[in-house]
Amino acid sequence: MPCLQRSSPGGTTGIGRATAELLHARGYQVAVTGQNPESVSRARSELPGDVLVVRSDGRVLSDTEALMSAVSARSDRWTCSSSTPGSSVRHRLPR
């Protein structure tokens, strides 16, 4: 069952990573994001190979678009999303 675990910041460390590991252990397809290149690299080497790890800043629209492209390439159906509380960004969409 695909599950997008998106935690900005911190999907590659701490509670976000622990949540991703738990969901993966329960059979979910998981993707995590992080901003710190070192923690992203560490997560790529330490998490199971089928966990998608993407360097992404949720405040940057182009990063979010790249994340969605990477996720969509893995699966056309994601059933849940998790995000760090207190993180929100406004983007003006073209008309």
**What tens digit of pLDDT does each residue of 32-69 get?**
888 899 999 999 999 999 999 999 887 888 988 898 88
Class of domain 2-82: alpha beta
Q: Check whether 19 has a pLDDT greater than 70.
A: yes
Domain boundaries, the chain: 2-82
Tokens at residue 90, please? 């406004």
26-61 burial, b for 16+ CB within 10 Å, e for fewer?
A: eebbbbbbbbeeebbebbbeebeeebbbbbbbbeee
